[in-house]
């Protein structure tokens, strides 16, 4: 049996409307190969949140895991910081 490490990501919750699912925006920066400028790329993931803990604006840590549905294959690990409540 192979010993695989989990691949962790961090991102900000942009939607918590669905049950047991949050939409998280992950931002990464990389240097463009040709122009040598830093580029920002964003991607949204649907993250499985079993206990409905994460709310809009929270920064969370999530990982790649077994698929829960057609588009949901990320799982909530922990809430890094709570969002600002207005």
User: Mind listing the pLDDT tens digit for each residue in 7-52?
Assistant: 899 999 999 999 999 999 999 999 999 999 999 999 999 999 999 9
Residue 42 has a pLDDT of 97
Contact 80, 60 (CB under 8 A): yes
Whether residue 55 has pLDDT greater than 70: yes
Cβ atoms < 10 Å from Cβ of 13 = 21
Q: Give the DSSP letter string of 41-60.
A: EEEEEEEE-TT----TT-EE
Residue 37 has a pLDDT of 97
Contact 13, 54 (CB under 8 A): yes
Domains defined for the chain, CATH in brackets: 8-81 (2.40.50.140)
Q: Which residues does residue 41 pair with via DSSP β-bridges, in sequence order?
A: 28
Helix, strand or coil, per DSSP, at residue 66 = coil
């Amino acid at each position: 049996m192979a010993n695989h490490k989990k691949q962790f990501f961090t991102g900000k919750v942009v939607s918590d409307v669905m049950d047991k699912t949050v939409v998280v925006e992950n931002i990464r920066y990389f240097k463009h190969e040709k122009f040598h400028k830093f580029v920002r790329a964003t991607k949204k993931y649907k993250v499985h949140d079993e206990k409905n803990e994460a709310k809009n604006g929270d920064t969370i840590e999530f990982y790649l895991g077994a698929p829960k549905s057609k588009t949901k294959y990320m799982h909530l690990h922990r809430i890094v910081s709570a969002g600002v409540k207005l």
